[in-house]
Amino acid sequence: MNTVRVDVDLGPRSYPVLIGSELLPGLGNLLREHGLHQTQAFVITNAAVGALYFERVEASLREAGFLRVVRHDIPASEEGKNWEEFSGSCAALLEAFPETGSVPLVLLLGGGVVGDLGGFVAGVFRRGVPFVQLPTTLLSAVDSSVGGKVAVNFGGVKNIMGIFNQPRLVVCDLSTLATLSGRELRSGMAEVVKYGGVCSGSLFEQLEGDHGRGALENMLALDPPTLTDIVAQCVRLKAGVVAQDEFDKKGIRNVLNFGHTIGHALELSADYALAHGEAIAIGMMAATRLALSLGLCEPSFLSRLESLLRRAALPLSHPDHPGLFERVLRAMQMDKKFKDGKNLFVLPTGVGAWQQVQNVPWDLVHAAVRSVLRADTGDR
């Protein structure tokens, strides 16, 4: 199976994303081919991913002439993405490489949590050391490993402490998805559906396919050609958006936040009981209902979105409990797009199209949030 290369075109900060199967055993050579000639590496991962993939990463680095490879683990999942772990990782990096002259290559082996935290660490250690993303979840493959947003959660707010810091290279070995839990694979599908929903009608249609079976099912079955094709499409879409608005200043990058205003708030308010993509799936349902109530999109978009999310066995709502609605509304006020007392919503206007809307009446926002909080009957 051929490796696909997608270039993220950011002038002096440009880098390639390599997408394929069984790439980690050849990682050392890939680094050399892409101009990374360090001889020391600091690998941030977690216990689960490290147990599965660190050895093959280390072996391949040594084969390519790395003399020292230090591994540092952070806790798995969102609980690892905080200031204490960020600080602990900086301390471990300093302890391993105390001399100013010895600059290691930082390698981030894991999902979005490792990638977000590790990219932040690499960006501030000695005012920046080079790093490479090695995404091992579908979500990190299609989204978080590309684009340079790196951050940790702080003070109960998601991603509030962070910087823009582009990797030198992304090596996306899709074979690692074989060990990912079904739940995490489906979580990544939410971001894939997001790209189709607001960035590319043809991707959305490809996911839908014919007679209830399309690329979505082939991806969930880990069919290598489909995975490579769709991951590459998503990375191309993201690279295109990031190239136009790298620092999130022009409003263009907001498209990537479809479903995230209510989704992030719910993710936080539900104390991270939801995987990131699950929260985004629910957030996309809420945002689409908001678009419907504003007359911005047709009911058929909602039913097509709902059908795809159901086929990926993603949740469409979350069990309500006392105080949750109010917590979600409060958390929405911490959103980076909250300004002048209002949220800016990224809303679909048709398959593959979107619009941002600032002055949405509160009663419509409340109704959209309530629409995804259900009295727990077990129906998703």
CA 111 to CA 102: how far, in whole Å? 27
How many chain residues bind ligand NAD (CB under 6 A)?
Answer: 29
Residue with CB nearest ligand NAD? 112
Q: Retrieve residue 84's tokens.
A: 């204490």
264 binds ligand GLY (CB under 6 A): no
Is residue 276 involved in binding ligand NAD (CB under 6 A)? yes
Q: Which is nearer to ligand NAD, 72 or 276 (CB)?
A: 276
Piece of 12-20, 139-147, 216-224, 285-293 that binds ligand NAD (CB under 6 A):
139-147
Binding status of residue 149 toward ligand GLY by CB under 6 A: yes
Applying CB under 6 A, which part among 30-38, 250-258, 350-358, 367-375 lies near ligand GLY?
250-258
179 binds, among ligand GLY, ligand NAD, none (CB under 5 to 8 A by kind): ligand NAD
By CB under 6 A, tell whether 143 contacts ligand NAD: yes
Q: What is the DSSP string of 272-317?
A: T-S-HHHHHHHHHHHHHHHHHHTT-S-HHHHHHHHHHHHHTT--S-
Walk across the sheet containing 15-20 and list its strands: 4-8, 15-20, 169-173, 131-135, 105-110, 40-45, 68-73
Q: With CB cut-offs between 5 and 8 Å by kind, which of ligand GLY, ligand NAD, none does residue 253 bind?
A: ligand GLY
Tokens of 104: 């290691």
Using alpha carbons only, give the angle 360, 362, 366 rounded to the nearest 5 degrees.
Answer: 115
63-82 residues near ligand NAD, rule: CB under 6 A? 76-78, 81
Residue 126 · residue 100 · CB < 8 Å: yes
Half-sphere exposure of 87 (CA within 13 A, CB side): 5
272: left (phi over 0), alpha (psi -120 to 50) or beta: left
Q: CB nearer to ligand NAD: give 52 or 157.
A: 52
Residue numbers at the binding site for ligand NAD (CB under 6 A): 46, 48-49, 52, 76-78, 81, 110-114, 116, 136-137, 139-140, 143-144, 147, 149, 159, 176, 179-180, 184, 187, 276
Residue numbers at the binding site for ligand GLY (CB under 6 A): 143, 147, 149, 253, 256-257
